[in-house]
């Protein structure tokens, strides 16, 4: 059952009442001088602070195992960091940097060929 806030227009008193919807309707019909005050909904939770849901270690390990099987996926970028060696990380960064350069300029600086040439 929800908590409703009421205001008595003759006395100026405001109070909260814990009622069912049916009882609230009957109460307001019987007392014409009392009006319901609409209040904003209270939202509580850790999502407001940007913390996000907590996951246990088993879920993280499973995601790392899946990420290791798919090294070029976005899942690997998020969960695969601890399973990759330093050399694999540096190699991936170099490949991504080169792919950006080729996409931006249209050709490889060392070969001088456009993407249309093979």
Give per-residue pLDDT as tens, 67-108. Answer: 888 877 888 877 775 556 778 778 888 988 888 888 888 766
Summarize the confidence of residues 45-50 as an average pLDDT: 54
Strands, DSSP E only, in 9-113? 14-18, 34-37
Cα–Cα distance measured from residue 40 to residue 92, given in angstroms and rounded to the nearest whole number = 49
Assess whether pLDDT exceeds 60 at residue 47. no
Confidence of residue 32 (pLDDT cuts 50, 70, 90): very high
23 is in which domain, residue-wise? 3-37
Give per-residue pLDDT as tens, 10-29. Answer: 999 999 999 999 999 999 99
Q: Is residue 91 part of a domain?
A: yes
Identify whether residues 30 and 63 lie together within a single domain: no
Cα–Cα distance measured from residue 104 to residue 101, given in angstroms and rounded to the nearest whole number = 5
Identify whether residues 64 and 101 lie together within a single domain: yes
């Amino acid at each position: 059952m929800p908590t409703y806030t009421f205001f008595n227009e003759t006395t100026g008193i405001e109070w909260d009442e814990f009622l069912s919807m049916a009882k609230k309707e009957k109460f307001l019909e019987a007392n014409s001088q009392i009006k319901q005050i609409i209040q904003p909904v209270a939202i509580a939770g850790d999502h407001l602070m940007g913390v996000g849901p907590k996951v246990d270690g088993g879920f993280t390990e499973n995601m790392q195992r899946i990420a290791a099987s798919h090294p070029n996926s976005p899942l690997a970028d998020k969960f695969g960091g601890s399973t990759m060696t330093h050399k694999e990380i540096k190699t991936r960064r170099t490949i991504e940097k080169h792919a950006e350069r080729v996409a931006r300029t249209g050709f490889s600086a060392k070969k001088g060929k456009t993407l249309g040439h093979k």
